[in-house]
Amino acid sequence: MKIIQIEYFCAVCRYHSITQAAQKLYVTQPAISNAIRELEKEFSINLFTRAKNHMFLTKEGEIFYQKTSRLLDTINQTSSELYDLGRQIPSIRIGIPPLLSTIFFPDMLIGFQKAYPDIPVELFEYGSIRAANLVAEDTLDLALVNMNFYEIEKLNSYMLLSDQIVFCVSPKHHLANETELSMEMLKEEPLIMYNTDSVLNTTLYSRFEGINIKPNVIMHASQLYTIQNFITNNLCGAFLYSSLMKNLPGLVGIPITPIIKQEIGIVWKKGKYVNESVEKYIAFTKKY
């Protein structure tokens, strides 16, 4: 018997539904079903009877729930006391791509720390693809990512923002007065593109390949400060999220046609129990 099995079992008892328990715990339904089957197999008992979309405890299940819920309370209380003893609350480890961090941080972090001053947060700068992989590997608890990558369904996710890509140039640039631009119009333009673990990078290269154009890339970068300096000095243009333009006064953002839409959100690992601190951060982010 494992602690996580008890937690899943008690959640189903409270909500009378595997679906609702999975939603509350941010895990998959199969993970909960498997945990209950393992408990039933280990102790040779039937814990539930099922009727339509609800689950009801058997007599043995009632006794099992009484004992395991008391055991879980003791475990949680002891864990809290041990953390208090060391005055340590586990840090929330969050991956953030450099460009997206400019949109959401530090305002989001400041807001969270005001709401939960005792919960420490560690931020790690990675591109969306790398950050998502580290979440899947349990190295990170959460990641803020561009959600337009093909393995997004392997993670739990919540979309925060749908954004549009614009081509950003200096007011002195010869395209600065255009109201919109096609990818064909940019085939000779000097460009800054992003690092290899950038979802936006993959999207843009795919667009160019679709019209048989090799872009004139003069630099790969991810830091907004570097990109801004190159654009300001009229050395090149760059594809940026339209939400970033508020941080770039004096520069011009020109819409791309056809429109390039990108969804930005948070991801966390499927099938993993979410501790209280991470759960609070997810809830906070959804309201942000």
Buried b (16+ CB within 10 A) or exposed e, 213-231: eebeeeeebbebeebbebb
Predicted pLDDT at 83: 62
Predicted pLDDT at 265: 95
Predicted pLDDT at 87: 58
User: Is residue 253 domain-shared with residue 168, that is, in the same domain?
Assistant: yes
The structure tokens 């720390």 sit at 113
Strands (E) located in 170-251? 181-182, 190-193, 216-220, 237-241
Contact 147, 259 (CB under 8 A): no
Q: How many domains does the chain have?
A: 3
Which tokens is 190 given? 């000097």
User: Is residue 155 domain-shared with residue 247, that is, in the same domain?
Assistant: no
Which of 268, 265, 263 is CA-nearest to residue 28? 268
Q: What is the per-residue pLDDT across 126-184, written as a single tens digit (0 to 9) for each?
A: 989 999 999 998 899 999 999 998 788 899 999 999 999 999 999 999 999 999 999 99
User: Is residue 52 domain-shared with residue 100, that is, in the same domain?
Assistant: no
Q: Is the C-alpha dihedral spanning 191, 195, 198, 204 positive or negative?
A: positive
Torsions phi, psi for 64 (to 5 deg): -60, -40
Torsions phi, psi for 186 (to 5 deg): -110, 10
Predicted pLDDT at 88: 66
Q: Using CA atoms, how far apart are residues 21 and 14, in angstroms rounded to an integer? A: 8
User: Is residue 49 domain-shared with residue 179, that is, in the same domain?
Assistant: no
Q: Using CA atoms, how far apart are residues 104 and 122, in angstroms rounded to an integer? A: 15
The structure tokens 């961090």 sit at 101
Predicted pLDDT at 169: 98
User: In CATH, what number is assigned to the domain containing residue 156?
Assistant: 3.40.190.10
Domain end (from 86, 116, 137): 86
Q: Using CA atoms, how far apart are residues 155 and 153, in angstroms rounded to an integer? A: 5
Q: Using CA atoms, how far apart are residues 132 and 269, in angstroms rounded to an integer? A: 9
- Taking the model in full, what pTM does it have? 0.68
DSSP 90: P
User: Is residue 123 domain-shared with residue 195, that is, in the same domain?
Assistant: no
Which tokens is 51 given? 């009727």
User: Is residue 169 domain-shared with residue 240, that is, in the same domain?
Assistant: yes
Predicted pLDDT at 235: 96
Predicted pLDDT at 86: 59
DSSP per-residue codes, 55-87: EEE-HHHHHHHHHHHHHHHHHHHHHHHHHHHHT
* Residue 220, beta-bridge partner list: 193
Which tokens is 4 given? 């996580």
Predicted pLDDT at 64: 94
Provide the CA 49 distance to its chain's centre, in angstroms: 36
Domain end (from 31, 53, 86): 86
220 Cβ neighbours under 8 A, 6+ residues apart: 192, 193, 194, 195, 196
Domain assignment of residue 120, given as a range: 92-160+264-287
User: Is residue 193 domain-shared with residue 167, that is, in the same domain?
Assistant: yes
Predicted pLDDT at 124: 94
Cβ count near 167 (within 10 Å): 24
From first to last of its 288 residues, what are the pLDDT tens digits of the chain?
888 999 999 999 988 889 888 888 888 899 999 999 999 999 999 999 887 777 889 999 999 999 999 998 888 777 766 665 555 677 899 999 988 888 888 889 999 999 999 899 999 999 899 999 999 988 999 999 999 987 888 999 999 999 999 999 999 999 999 999 999 999 999 999 988 778 999 999 999 999 999 999 999 998 899 999 999 999 999 999 999 998 899 999 999 999 999 999 999 998 877 888 899 999 999 988
